[in-house]
Chains A and B, each alone.
Chain A
Amino acid sequence: MSLTATISSGEEVVKADLADERVLVKQAQNGELNAFDELVRRYQERIYATVYHMTANHEDANDLAQESFIKAYRALKSFKGDSSFFTWLYRIAINKTINHLKQKKNRSHMSLNDLDFNAEHDPDLVSLVSDKTPRREINLVELQERLNTAMQKLSHVHRLVVTLHDVQGLSHEEISRITDCNTGTVRSRLFYARQQLQAHLSDYLK
């Protein structure tokens, strides 16, 4: 199969997914819980991960992710389809998370998830820690804590762009749509946030 055919086929899959999503949203707006259940399954991991990386707390992420979906269902009637359902849902989750973080201020504590088994086999991570200690596993956990502590020192908006871009892999354009600001702002926030993180994690980056 040629490259053009592959790209064309990929675009068709995306279009089919979007059309399918519109149907599901329509059905959910009519009160069909099965359709909404399908939408939850599609986005649960991404929404949970965004909230988790923002809060660094599994329990909070669990509650906030669930509340975001419940709020989305209740507000579904107001969803006109001006943006994609995914963007709209992200906005709800992010607003909820930022409100939660503002309320908690400095009273939050970290409750980190365990690292996946595959982390030990990631060559990029191995290269960052292997020459520092022979006990690689312990060092990865320590690195995880240091990384999350550094993330928590960032402001909410800076933490958000790092989470969405560098952890979740969203494009600048997608982030600008979700956060409702232009791509220039997204880029400058990302630049500043990375500088801050580099300062906090200089031990591991040299």
Chain B
Amino acid sequence: MIDPTLEDSQALVRLLALKRYEQPPPGYFESFSSRVIAHIEAGQEHAAQPWWRSVWLAFQTKPVLASAYCLLAVSVSLFALSMVELATGPSNEETPLAAGVWPHLNSRAAANLTDRVVFDRFSTTLNPQFSEGLIGDRNSQPPRFLLDGGGLKLQPLNVSY
């Protein structure tokens, strides 16, 4: 008596033989090797050219890649710039803006004036109501000690809104 498992197994092997009849489209293998060789030759040409040319070609064919590289380059540059800025830091000998304009002022007064002018300009540009709340009346005069020397007349900022 034949073992049913063995019989099934033989039937399965016969069934699997069906897969040998699955064939690719006619003529498929006639051009297969030439396609492989063409790929290899193209790869050799690609390897022979200088690296910058390969990069340039890659950028030409893939704009997304080029954009990504540009973005990366800009980010790295900005990061490097900020690092340099951080490393050098603000100099102690740095002259306040007002001291350059009004050399007769002492350094503390010049620094105060610079801060005031910068802050005033900034706050009125962004939010005039905010500036009013913080620095009071826009028409008020700056402290007298700043305006006494050299006939200098400091005009309050004229903001229209």
Residues in chain B near residue A44, CB distance under 8 A:
29, 32-33
Residues in chain A near residue B37, CB distance under 8 A:
33, 36-37, 40
Select the stretch in B7-15, B54-62, B82-90, B100-108 that faces chain A: B7-15
Select the stretch in A98-106, A110-118, A176-184 that faces chain B: A110-118
- How many chain-B residues does the 8 Å CB contact rule pick out? 28
Task: Looking at the assembled complex, report how far the CB atom of A140 sits from the nearest CB atom of chain B, in whole angstroms.
Answer: 7
* Cβ contact within 8 Å between B8 and A205: yes
Given contacts A66-B39, A70-B39, contact A162 B16 (CB under 8 A): yes
Given contacts A115-B22, A116-B22, A198-B9, contact A147 B36 (CB under 8 A): no
* Cβ contact within 8 Å between B40 and A144: no
CB of B152 within 8 Å of the partner chain: no
What is the CA–CA distance of A70 and B41 in the complex, to the nearest angstrom? 10
Name A115's closest neighbour in chain B (CB-CB). B21
Residues in chain A near residue B13, CB distance under 8 A:
166
* Cβ contact within 8 Å between B32 and A48: yes
* Cβ contact within 8 Å between A194 and B9: yes
Give A101-131 interface residues, CB cut-off 8 Å to B. 112-116, 118-119, 122, 124-125, 127-128
Name B24's closest neighbour in chain A (CB-CB). A113
Partner of A40, one of B15, B17, B33, B43: B33
Residues in chain B near residue A70, CB distance under 8 A:
36, 39-40, 43
Task: Looking at the assembled complex, report how far the CB atom of B40 sits from the nearest CB atom of chain A, in whole angstroms.
Answer: 5
* Cβ contact within 8 Å between B15 and A205: yes
CB of A158 within 8 Å of the partner chain: no
Partner of B18, one of A114, A140, A198: A140
Partner of B12, one of A53, A62, A112, A194: A194
What is the CA–CA distance of A143 and B34 in the complex, to the nearest angstrom? 34
Name A113's closest neighbour in chain B (CB-CB). B22
What is the CA–CA distance of A73 and B43 in the complex, to the nearest angstrom? 11
Residues in chain B near residue A148, CB distance under 8 A:
19
CB of A69 within 8 Å of the partner chain: yes
Task: Looking at the assembled complex, report how far the CB atom of B68 sits from the nearest CB atom of chain A, in whole angstroms.
Answer: 23
Chain B proximity mask over A58-85: 1 for CB below 8 Å, otherwise 0: 1001100110011001100000000000
* Cβ contact within 8 Å between A45 and B15: no
CB of B20 within 8 Å of the partner chain: yes
* Cβ contact within 8 Å between B18 and A143: yes
CB of A52 within 8 Å of the partner chain: yes
Residues in chain B near residue A53, CB distance under 8 A:
19, 22
Task: Looking at the assembled complex, report how far the CB atom of B118 sits from the nearest CB atom of chain A, in whole angstroms.
Answer: 58
Chain B proximity mask over A171-206: 1 for CB below 8 Å, otherwise 0: 000000000000000000000001001100100110
* Cβ contact within 8 Å between B35 and A124: no
* Residue among B9, B33, B39, B43 with most chain A CB within 10 A: B33
Residues in chain A near residue B15, CB distance under 8 A:
125, 128, 143, 147, 201, 204-205
Q: Please report B residues at the A interface, Cβ cutoff 8 Å.
A: 8-9, 11-25, 29, 32-37, 39-41, 43
Q: Please report A residues at the B interface, Cβ cutoff 8 Å.
A: 33, 36-37, 40-41, 44-45, 48, 52-53, 58, 61-62, 65-66, 69-70, 73-74, 112-116, 118-119, 122, 124-125, 127-128, 140, 143-144, 147-148, 151, 162, 166-167, 194, 197-198, 201, 204-205
| 12 other A-B residue contacts (CB within 8 Å) besides A48-B29, A140-B18, A167-B20 | A37-B36, A40-B36, A70-B43, A122-B21, A124-B17, A127-B14, A143-B18, A166-B17, A167-B17, A194-B9, A197-B16, A198-B8
